[in-house]
Structure 1
Amino acid sequence: MPAISSEPLRATQPPAELHLRSYRAETLTHSHDFPQVVLPVSGRIALDIAGRQGMADAANAAFVEPHARHATSAAGLNSVIILDLAPSMLTAELMERLAPRPFMPLSQAAGKLVDFMALAMGQQHKMAPAQLQHWVPLLLDTLAMAAPRPHSRLHALMAKIEAEPGLPWAVADMAAAAAISPSRLHEWFQQEIATSPRAWLAEVRVRRACELLSTSALPLSEIALRCGYTDQSALSHAMRKLRDTTPAAYRRAAHAATA
């Protein structure tokens, strides 16, 4: 819990960051120059956001626009996900939807996103920037009750694939998961990250393989299967192509670097 203060706290623009916090009965009053989303996992949080009072709980979220002075307090046990956003992550349209109504009900879809966040943070303590990049746009669209933008739908798909890279993700399967055609999927990937679905998937799988090679003692054949390769030979071919090395050599170098 941050120190209690009655003075505004000014901070520089952060990247998207998640924090799992709990609050006490004493009132914390401050402001910051970036937007923030308050997503209680359990308990109830009382907020005063620029003079507008309300409650946030497991069924209701709160949005704090940049520079809005806000006070927070709670009675009883609570657990709250705080999402700090860079202002650039909010379009003008989303800001117009969220700012006038800082207290909003959580839809079933948004609730599931929050549950996923809480579970991931409980397991990892801190979400990786890539994970945040994928689900934040979808969360914001859901909170604003707007139809998910192509940007959000694409990143939701990417998050799903990165969570299970070992599945047999053909381009047709990826397109079906996003409920679009393969040709549209190619367009989205080119517009968003300037690459093809297949090339992006290849990089995701190699990156996951490198993580496992560095942090585990799993056999190479097991790592290959977990990362979506048919066998160890396919993993070796992919690593030679994308990392100019072999799995065994990469593991040796990683272990030597940490010895």
Structure 2
Amino acid sequence: MSASTPHLRRYLGPTGLECHDYAQWVLPVHGELQFEVGGAGGHLDRLQGAFVAPGQTHDLEALGEHSCLIVDCPAGVLDDDTLEHLYRKPWLALPIEVRQRLRELPASGLVGDPLPRLLRHFAPAGSGARLQGVCMAVVSAPGLDWSVARMAAMAGVSGSRLHALFVREFGLPPLAWVGAARLRWAKRQLLGSDASLSDIAQRAGYSEQSAFTRALRRESGRTPRQWRARQ
């Protein structure tokens, strides 16, 4: 018998605030979503998912075509240490192994319990715990100077070792992952604030507004103004 209940879901509109007595993993299969958990806002895409602890309020809004793997965990499935750890770090930097499984889902269907694989990466003692801590620091303050040296010092490894760990875990070098995190944060600001484009670019860590424009156009085919006009 599975410890968790996975199901594929599409959301046709904003969900409004929800709260339930079980834990939930929200993992984008394709597309993007605006997500809020415990009063903190984030942006979910192929590189980032979210964890909702029991009793936490949360809501979401899809940005166009999308689907998500939702994994519900009833009381007693996750131990207290794991729940507390994920409660404090709800944004999940999705490893390449998890992303590959998600990409296969529409064709392969839901087979087996995904929870063991998720815990292997995201539990406090999981294989990805050290890198998850670095990634969440970047997500919390994307505008800081996230050099490889700074990230390596935070992880307690050399720069070359950090590079190898990021490529193995995420399929991306450290600075490419930082670039994606900055763009994710900036896209959320475009939709959720009236801040100027130059202010968003600066706070996201771009050297100038034109660098932000190039990055967004390269990733989405849209300029910042066009992205903002989606709402």
* TM band (smaller chain): 0.5 to 0.7
Residue by residue over 1:158-177, the C-alpha shift from the partner in whole angstroms, topping out at 9 and shown as x without a partner, is 11111110101111211122
**1:138 Cα shift?**
6.9
Partner of 1:18: 53
Structure 1 residue runs without a partner (length 5+):
1-9, 22-30, 39-60, 64-82, 84-109, 121-126, 142-148
Residue by residue over 1:66-99, the C-alpha shift from the partner in whole angstroms, topping out at 9 and shown as x without a partner, is xxxxxxxxxxxxxxxxx3xxxxxxxxxxxxxxxx
Q: Residues 122-201 of structure 1: matches in 2 within 5 Å? A: 127-130=90-93, 140-141=124-125, 151-201=128-178
- What is the TM-score of this pair, normalised by structure 1? 0.49
Whose relative contact order is higher, 1 or 2, with alpha carbons under 8 Å and at least 6 apart? 2
User: For 1:140, what is the secondary structure of its paired residue?
Assistant: coil
User: For 1:19, what is the secondary structure of its paired residue?
Assistant: coil
Residue by residue over 1:110-146, the C-alpha shift from the partner in whole angstroms, topping out at 9 and shown as x without a partner, is 8xx58x72xx8xxxxxx45559x999967632xxxxx
User: For 2:55, what is the secondary structure of its paired residue?
Assistant: strand
Check the 8 A contact 1:135/1:155 in 2, yes or no.
Answer: no
User: For 2:205, what is the secondary structure of its paired residue?
Assistant: coil
**1:12 Cα shift?**
2.6
Relative to structure 1, the CA distance from residue 32 to residue 248 in structure 2 (aligned partners, 3 Å threshold; closer, same or farther) is: closer
Check the 8 A contact 1:135/1:156 in 2, yes or no.
Answer: no
Q: Residues 1-259 of structure 1: matches in 2 within 5 Å? A: 12=5, 15=25, 17-20=52-55, 35-38=77-80, 83=83, 117=88, 127-130=90-93, 140-141=124-125, 151-252=128-229, 254-255=230-231
**1:243 Cα shift?**
2.0
Relative to structure 1, the CA distance from residue 129 to residue 156 in structure 2 (aligned partners, 3 Å threshold; closer, same or farther) is: closer
Q: Which has the larger radius of gyration?
A: 1
**1:248 Cα shift?**
1.1
User: For 1:36, what is the secondary structure of its paired residue?
Assistant: coil
Aligned residues: 149
Q: Cα RMSD between the aligned structures?
A: 3.5
User: For 2:54, what is the secondary structure of its paired residue?
Assistant: strand
**1:33 Cα shift?**
9.2
Relative to structure 1, the CA distance from residue 244 to residue 164 in structure 2 (aligned partners, 3 Å threshold; closer, same or farther) is: same
Check the 8 A contact 1:138/1:156 in 2, yes or no.
Answer: no
Higher share in strand: 2
Check the 8 A contact 2:149/2:159 in 1, yes or no.
Answer: yes
Percent identical among aligned pairs is 30
